[in-house]
Chain A
Amino acid sequence: MNYDFNFDVIWRNWDLLAEGLGLGLFLAIVSIAIGCGIGLLAAFGMLSRHRTLRWIAVAYVSAIRNTPILVLILFCYFALPQLGIALDKISSFVFTLSIYAGAYLAEVFRSGLVALPKGLREAGLAIGLTEFKIKTNIIIPVMFRNVLPSLSNNFISLFKDTSLAAAIAVPELTFYARKINVESFRVIETWMVASMIYVVACYVIAALLRRLELRLAVPR
């Protein structure tokens, strides 16, 4: 093999790659935040006494989890406007990723909820709290702390999944890498650097989340 490595074009476009990385992180953060809300509702839905609620939550979770995410992205971006729901590229992608995250987090939260000791709720009842206050003050905060490690893993997956936004021309890292690649033909350099950025970013995010987990964990 005789290939002349030349990273010039990468260095010249460094700002684009950084911008793309920033947007990817932003998309992942917004989506996990909304996804947590959806996931929480769906988790309580799955554990509800009401059959209809249970059915809706289970249907949502299994439908989303059994559809490839790329298909969801394309569906929301190209098909929803036909049904009268038109969103711009970024909103459409955040919508998709939130719905997608919600389905996975619902499962995380559901197992977190069933793992809690029954006594927590009863101790809340015994001091006169209503079911709603027990959920918001005790059940959700304790469960949330317990599932933080899974939440971190989900966030990292979600961050990597933001690369799929390139499919609908959302200008994140993968989109810019492809653009640089097409314009410069430095195929190996471009994709090598893009991969490296993802690896380093994921590594740094994991380290930061690990520290956050330690700070928020229930002390023992």
Chain B
Amino acid sequence: MSPILTISGLHKSFGKVEVLKGIDLTMQQGDVVSLIGSSGSGKTTLLRCVNLLEDFEQGSIELAGQSIGYKQDGGQRRRLSEREIARQRAMTGMAFQQFNLFPHMTAIRNVMLGLIKTKKMPKDEARAIAEKWLERVGMGQRRDHYPGQLSGGQQQRVAIARAIAMNPQIMLFDEVTSALDPELVAEVLAVVRDLANEGMTMLLVTHEMRFARDVSSKVVFMHQGRIHEEGTPEQIFGAPKTERLQGFLANSEF
């Protein structure tokens, strides 16, 4: 089977500072890959490159057979047009640490917006899909609430529904529980876990090591812009090879 996501030789700099120094990563459909590593190691930047929220100078990302963000044009590397990039962005779903719901729209309108404006769906169809997904994340009862009227955990579940409703090829989760009060973490992780069990392809950044161990098909440990060690959850958590990873795990909470 051909991979759904192939990242090869990805380099990314902010000004003179190289933040990603050659990332190679392959994912099959249904894979759940967790990115772990200390703060500043480049996990967020990697996700943002996949979702084209950042441009990158070198390397390539291929999603479902398409080159993401750039094309080769007569030996020249060219950034795609804004319209093309917008279309490709909709192929990946992103859940952010800070939820980033649209505060002036109810939960259901948040989910419907992309369906109507990007996918050009009729309102009724968009509403039906939005209702289905809000139901699935346990927010069906709150569909007419505004983000400001919801708890952090509820907002994050709506944000996940908003991303998934677009029917992306892959879901990206960037520390979706780290802005939450401890008692709200579980409800969000439960939603992510359900999606993983149903075969959603996901690339997720997390500090919840126990969760990463439970849901992942592969765990990737990043350090200073490189993949330092990768393997199955058993390998990474049970028998970490490098000293760096051993040190990181010793300082992590489980």
Tell whether, in the assembled complex, residue B114 and residue A219 are in contact, meaning their CB atoms are under 8 Å apart.
no
Q: Mark B196-238, 1 if CB is under 8 A from A, else 0.
A: 0000000000000000000000000000000000000000000
Complex formed: what's the CA distance from A128 to B89 in Å? 5
Tell whether, in the assembled complex, residue B118 and residue A129 are in contact, meaning their CB atoms are under 8 Å apart.
yes
| Nearest Cβ on chain B to A177's Cβ, whole angstroms | 42
Complex formed: what's the CA distance from A138 to B87 in Å? 18
User: Residue A219 contacts which of B86, B118, B148 (CB distance < 8 angstroms)?
Assistant: B148
Could you tell me which residues of chain B, from 49 to 79, have a CB within 8 Å of some CB in chain A?
Answer: 51-53
Q: Mark B143-173, 1 if CB is under 8 A from A, else 0.
A: 0001011000000000100110010000000
Query: Which residues of B lie under 8 Å from residue A79 when comparing CB positions?
Result: none
Query: Which residues of A lie under 8 Å from residue B162 when comparing CB positions?
Result: 123, 127
Query: Which residues of B lie under 8 Å from residue A218 when comparing CB positions?
Result: 103-104, 146, 148
Tell whether, in the assembled complex, residue A128 and residue B114 are in contact, meaning their CB atoms are under 8 Å apart.
yes
Tell whether, in the assembled complex, residue A125 and residue B53 are in contact, meaning their CB atoms are under 8 Å apart.
yes
| Nearest Cβ on chain A to B48's Cβ, whole angstroms | 9
Is B137 located at the chain interface by the 8 A CB criterion? no
| Nearest Cβ on chain A to B126's Cβ, whole angstroms | 12
Identify which of A80-88, A95-103, A114-122 touches chain B.
A114-122
Is A137 located at the chain interface by the 8 A CB criterion? yes
Is A145 located at the chain interface by the 8 A CB criterion? yes
Is A133 located at the chain interface by the 8 A CB criterion? yes
Is B243 located at the chain interface by the 8 A CB criterion? no
Is B33 located at the chain interface by the 8 A CB criterion? no
User: Residue B100 contacts which of A119, A130, A133, A220 (CB distance < 8 angstroms)?
Assistant: A119
Is B117 located at the chain interface by the 8 A CB criterion? yes
Tell whether, in the assembled complex, residue A119 and residue B117 are in contact, meaning their CB atoms are under 8 Å apart.
no
- By size class, the interface of chain B is 20 to 34
Known A122-B96, A123-B96, A219-B148; contact A128-B103, beta-carbon cutoff 8 A: no
Complex formed: what's the CA distance from A131 to B117 in Å? 12
Complex formed: what's the CA distance from A153 to B221 in Å? 55
Tell whether, in the assembled complex, residue A142 and residue B104 are in contact, meaning their CB atoms are under 8 Å apart.
yes
Query: Which residues of A lie under 8 Å from residue B119 when comparing CB positions?
Result: 128
Query: Which residues of A lie under 8 Å from residue B52 when comparing CB positions?
Result: 125
Is B181 located at the chain interface by the 8 A CB criterion? no
> How many residues of A are in contact with the other chain, CB < 8 A?
22
Is A71 located at the chain interface by the 8 A CB criterion? no
Query: Which residues of B lie under 8 Å from residue A128 when comparing CB positions?
Result: 86-87, 89-90, 114, 118-119, 166
Is B113 located at the chain interface by the 8 A CB criterion? yes
Q: Mark A184-219, 1 if CB is under 8 A from B, else 0.
A: 000000000000000000000000000000000011
Query: Which residues of B lie under 8 Å from residue A119 when comparing CB positions?
Result: 96, 98, 100
Complex formed: what's the CA distance from A169 to B207 in Å? 71
Complex formed: what's the CA distance from A129 to B92 in Å? 13
Q: B53, B90, B117, B118 — which one has the most chain A CB atoms within 10 A of its CB?
A: B117
Known A123-B96, A219-B148, A220-B148; contact A129-B117, beta-carbon cutoff 8 A: yes
Q: A123, A126, A130, A131 — which one has the most chain B CB atoms within 10 A of its CB?
A: A126
Tell whether, in the assembled complex, residue A127 and residue B148 are in contact, meaning their CB atoms are under 8 Å apart.
no
Q: A123, A127, A218 — which one has the most chain B CB atoms within 10 A of its CB?
A: A127
Query: Which residues of B lie under 8 Å from residue A129 when comparing CB positions?
Result: 86, 113-114, 117-118
| Nearest Cβ on chain A to B174's Cβ, whole angstroms | 11
Could you tell me which residues of chain B, from 128 to 148, have a CB within 8 Å of some CB in chain A?
Answer: 146, 148
Q: Which residue of B lies closest to A123 (CB)?
A: B100
Q: A131, A141, A145, A218 — which one has the most chain B CB atoms within 10 A of its CB?
A: A218
Query: Which residues of A lie under 8 Å from residue B37 when comparing CB positions?
Result: none
Q: B118, B162, B163 — which one has the most chain A CB atoms within 10 A of its CB?
A: B118
| Nearest Cβ on chain A to B103's Cβ, whole angstroms | 5
Is B42 located at the chain interface by the 8 A CB criterion? no
Could you tell me which residues of chain B, from 115 to 130, have a CB within 8 Å of some CB in chain A?
Answer: 117-119
With A119-B100, A123-B162, A128-B87 given, can you name 13 additional A-B contacts, CB distance below 8 Å?
A117-B98, A120-B102, A122-B53, A122-B100, A123-B159, A126-B89, A127-B114, A127-B118, A127-B163, A128-B86, A130-B82, A138-B104, A141-B104
10 pairs of A and B residues whose beta carbons are closest in the complex:
A128-B90, A220-B148, A127-B114, A119-B100, A128-B118, A123-B100, A219-B146, A126-B94, A218-B103, A130-B86
9 contacts between A and B (CB under 8 A): A119-B100, A122-B96, A126-B89, A127-B163, A127-B166, A128-B90, A128-B166, A130-B86, A218-B146
